[in-house]
Amino acid sequence: MKYCIIDDEPIAHRIIEGYCVNITYMQKVGNCYDVFEAMQLMNNHEIDLIFLDINMPKLSGFDLLKTMQQFPKVIVTSAHEEFALEGYELNVSDYLLKPFSFKRFLKAINKVMENQGQAQNSSHENKKGSLFLKGDKKIHQIHTDDILFVEAFGNYSKVFLATEIIVSHEKISSLEALLPAPDFLRVHKSFIIAANKIKMIEGNRIAIGEHFVPIGQTYKHNLKQLFRGE
The percent of residues above 70 in pLDDT, for the chain, comes to: 91
Residue 45 belongs to domain spanning: 2-125
Cβ(56)–Cβ(9) below 8 Å: no
User: Could you give the number of structural domains in the chain?
Assistant: 2
Q: What b/e readout covers 164-176, taking b as 16+ CB neighbours within 10 angstroms?
A: eebebebebeebb
Say how far apart CA 102 and CA 188 lie, in whole Å: 38
134 shares its domain with 121: no
Least confident of 37-41, 134-138, 209-213: 134-138
- Give the domain CATH number at 111: 3.40.50.2300
Q: Identify the domain boundary among 125, 145, 168.
A: 125
160 shares its domain with 56: no
116-152 pLDDT, tens digit per residue, is 654 444 444 444 577 778 777 777 888 889 999 999 9
pTM: 0.52
159 shares its domain with 187: yes
80-94 pLDDT, tens digit per residue, is 888 787 777 778 889
114 shares its domain with 11: yes
